[in-house]
Copies of this chain bind each other. A is one copy, B any other.
Amino acid sequence: MSTATVSRALSQPQRVSENTRARVSKAVDVTGYTMNQAARSLRQRVARTVLVALPDIRNPFFSSILDAVEREAARRGYGILVANLYFGHETVWRLQDLLLSNRADGLLLLDGSVNPNHLRLLTDGPVSIPVVLACEEVPHLNYHKVLTDNAVSAERATRHLIDLGHLDIGHIMGPEHNSAAQDRLTGFTRALSAAHLPVNPNWLFRGNFEMESGFAAAARFMALEHRPTAIFAANDESAIGLLSGLRQHGLACPQDISVVGFDDLEVAPHYWPPLTTIRQPRETLGRMAAETLIDLIEGEHRATTPLRIVLSSELIVRGSTARLSSALSSAVQSAI
The segment from A256-264, A265-273, A309-317 that touches chain B is A265-273
Is A58 part of the contact surface with B, judged by Cβ < 8 Å?
A: yes
Is A300 part of the contact surface with B, judged by Cβ < 8 Å?
A: no
Does the CB pair A58–B47 fall under 8 Å? no
A36 contact from B42, B63, B82, Cβ within 8 A? B42
Does the CB pair B35–A38 fall under 8 Å? no
A174 and B152 CA atoms in complex are apart in Å by 40
Does the CB pair B36–A101 fall under 8 Å? yes
Is A16 part of the contact surface with B, judged by Cβ < 8 Å?
A: no
A229 and B102 CA atoms in complex are apart in Å by 59
- B-contact 0/1 string along A71-114, CB 8 Å cutoff: 10010000111111000000000101110111100000000000
Shortest distance between the CB of A259 and any CB in chain B (Å): 13
Shortest distance between the CB of A65 and any CB in chain B (Å): 9
| Residues of chain A in range 123-137 having any CB-CB distance to chain B below 8 Å | 125-126
The segment from A140-148, A219-227, A239-247 that touches chain B is A239-247
The interface of chain A, by Cβ under 8 A from chain B, is 32, 34-39, 41-42, 47, 49, 57-60, 63-64, 66-67, 70-71, 74, 79-84, 94, 96-98, 100-103, 125-126, 211, 215, 240-241, 243-244, 247, 266-267, 269-272, 274
Complex A-B: 18 CB contacts under 8 Å: A32-B100, A34-B96, A34-B100, A36-B101, A36-B102, A37-B101, A38-B38, A38-B42, A39-B42, A58-B63, A60-B60, A60-B63, A80-B82, A211-B270, A244-B269, A244-B271, A267-B267, A271-B272
